[in-house]
Structure formats: structure tokens, C-alpha cells
């Protein structure tokens, strides 16, 4: 789809705000979804006992899961909005790599995951790697 976007390029603060919106909503979505799946328990075990229907029922009856998916939807539409104003080569790597770091921080403080030195190092390496790969 070819769109002629004649609007002036947004300034640095507007650009930062758009990317921040994507990163924050994506992080909230990922963390809430992870919390939902932890609260449900091992899906492989549930499927072994109650079958695939039981596993699907366990997921779709969890309110946290819907909260997570809602934030992921907000993140998706924030991405679409940002892509309408900014270049893909900026938005995609910046949001993907920053989200890795914010997720590690959020997982430590909200999910109480053991984000040790090994995982911090990995998060930073993958973050820089994604930026290099996609930029």
C-alpha cells in the first residue's frame, strides 16, 4: 500500500514519545502474559490431565491473560501509529531492543525473576545485536 505522507517529520521528543509508548505497552503486555501463564501452571501438565480443551480453557479463563493481550494490542497499534510517522528502520530495531531491557527490569521487579548477571549480560548483548541486525 503506497501512502503519500506529507506531514512534517516529527521532532526528537515526539519520536521518543512514540517509541516509549510502544516499549511500555509491549513490556506491560509481556509481563502480564508471563504472570498469567505462571499463575495457570505448566500447560504441558494441564494438557496431559485435561487435554487440549482443558489447556485452552485454563488460558482463556484467566483475567491476567486478557489484560496482557490488551496491552499487546495497544503496543501493536502504537507500532502502526509510529510507522505512519517514522521509518521502519528506526522504529523496529529501537522498540525491539529497548523492550528486551525494559522486560528484564520489569521481570525482576514485578515477576521477581532471578535476573542474575548472566541474564543482564544476555539482555544487553541481545539488545545491541537486534539493533545491529535490524538497523
Partner 1 sequence: MAQHKLSAWQYSVLALVSISAPLGDTCLSRGMTSLPAISLAHPATLIAAVFTPWIAVGIVLLIGFFASYLTALSWADLTYVLPATAFGNVIVALFARFWLQEPISLQRWAGIALITVGVGFVAQGPSLTERPAVKPSVGIDPAAAVEEEQTR
Positions in the binding site for partner 1 (CB under 8 A) = 1-2, 30-31, 33-45, 59, 63-64, 96, 100, 103-104, 107-108, 110-119, 121-126, 128-135
Least spacing, CB of residue 23 vs partner 1, in Å: 13
The answer to whether residues 78 and 18 touch, using CB atoms and an 8 Å cutoff, is yes
Least spacing, CB of residue 11 vs partner 1, in Å: 27
Q: Which is nearer to partner 1, 17 or 130 (CB)?
A: 130
Least spacing, CB of residue 101 vs partner 1, in Å: 10
Q: How many residues does the chain have?
A: 135
Rounded to whole angstroms, the Cα distance separating 95 from 100 reads: 9
Q: Which is nearer to partner 1, 85 or 108 (CB)?
A: 108
Q: Give the number of other CB atoms < 10 A from CB of residue 3.
A: 6
Rounded to whole angstroms, the Cα distance separating 133 from 51 reads: 40
Amino acid at each position: 500500500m503506497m501512502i503519500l505522507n506529507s506531514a512534517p517529520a516529527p521532532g526528537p521528543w515526539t519520536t521518543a514519545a512514540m517509541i516509549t509508548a510502544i516499549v511500555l505497552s509491549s513490556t506491560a503486555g509481556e509481563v502480564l502474559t508471563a504472570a498469567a501463564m505462571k499463575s495457570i501452571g505448566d500447560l504441558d501438565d494441564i494438557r496431559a490431565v485435561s487435554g487440549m480443551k482443558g489447556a485452552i480453557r485454563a488460558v482463556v479463563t484467566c483475567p491476567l491473560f486478557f489484560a496482557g493481550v490488551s496491552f499487546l494490542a495497544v503496543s501493536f497499534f502504537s507500532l502502526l501509529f509510529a510507522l505512519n510517522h517514522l521509518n521502519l528502520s528506526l522504529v523496529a530495531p529501537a522498540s525491539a531492543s529497548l523492550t528486551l531491557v525494559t522486560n528484564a527490569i520489569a521481570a525482576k521487579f514485578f515477576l521477581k525473576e532471578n535476573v542474575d548477571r548472566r541474564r543482564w549480560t544476555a539482555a544487553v548483548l541481545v539488545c545491541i545485536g537486534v539493533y545491529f541486525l535490524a538497523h
